[in-house]
Amino acid sequence: MNLIDYANILIRRGWIMLLLALIAGAGAFLFSRALEPVYRATIKVRIEPSRTDFGLTQAAKQLLNSHVAYLDSTLIAAEVIDRLQLDMTPPQLRADVRVAPNLDSLVIQIDAEHINPGQAALIASEWAQLLIRYRNDQNQQARREDRIYASLQDNPVLALARPNVRINTLVGCIGGLFLGGIAVFALEYLESAIVRRREDVENSIGLPVLAAVPPAD
């Protein structure tokens, strides 16, 4: 088959692809709208050396991963639950929280997800405050010029984590279009052995048709 044959197939059966794309996109849209929204609160904790010399800055960078390990634990999750009186287990809460360091900017980012945006903000804030308290306790054991401080960079930033209705609808449309293309070419394959026109005979035997007998009345 050449490009012209493919084009003719799309012209004749393209409506199947469009219909399946429309159905799949509409289904993905309705399914996404039916899901309960989950919100993400993002807060950043800035790690600041008391002085800007190379040695203390490197020490602060090395502490970032240690602080992430401290925060990303069941014990910290249990403490947050106790402080906020949450009705969930530490493993459940820990699964909804992400802690990640940024070595370049000396920042630890905490992302907390919850169906209640206000609750997500409280969880992220409390998680950050535990790090700040921990850092303050550590500073009590160090000389003033060797201290490394932790402070909030900003208030929690809220955003819709999921579902992303637009993306889901687009994926549904693309998936429906793809399935429609498979269906179209499957139909063409199944009907390829059926002879309907003179061109079908010529394509099948590779010879021109000289004459045709008209059907009897």
**Tens-digit pLDDT string for the chain (217 aa):** 566 766 777 777 788 889 999 999 999 999 989 999 999 999 999 988 888 777 888 888 888 888 998 899 999 999 999 999 999 999 999 999 999 998 888 899 999 999 999 999 999 999 999 999 988 888 888 888 888 888 998 899 999 998 999 999 999 999 999 998 888 888 877 766 555 566 665 566 555 655 556 655 5
Structure confidence at residue 12 (pLDDT): 78
pLDDT at 198: 61
The 3-class secondary structure across the chain, one letter per residue, is CCHHHHHHHHHHHHHHHHHHHHHHHHHHHHHHHHCCCEEEEEEEEEEEECCCCHHHHHHHHHHHHHHHHHHCCHHHHHHHHHHHCCCCCHHHHHHCEEEEEECCCCEEEEEEEECCHHHHHHHHHHHHHHHHHHHHHHHCCCCHHHCEEEEECCCCEEEEEECCHHHHHHHHHHHHHHHHHHHHHHHHHHCCCCCCCHHHHHHHHCCCCCCCCCCCC
What are the CA-CA distances from residue 100 to residues 16, 43, 112, 182 (Å)? 47, 11, 12, 43
Query: Which residues are within 8 A (CB) of 130 and not within 5 positions of it... i.e. 6 or more apart?
Result: 71, 76, 79, 80
Do 24 and 179 form a contact (C-beta atoms < 8 A)?
Answer: yes
Q: Residue 208's pLDDT is what?
A: 65
Q: What is the pLDDT of residue 144?
A: 84
Write out the two tokens for 159: 């955003």
Q: What is the structure's pLDDT at 8?
A: 74
Domains along the chain with CATH numbers? 3-34+165-205 (no CATH), 38-162 (3.30.1890.10)
- What pTM was estimated for this model as a whole? 0.73
* Maximal C-alpha separation, the chain: 110
User: Residues with Cβ < 8 Å from 138, sequence gap 6 or more?
Assistant: 148
Residues 6+ apart with CB under 8 A from 51: 145
Instruction: Specify the pLDDT at position 157.
Output: 93
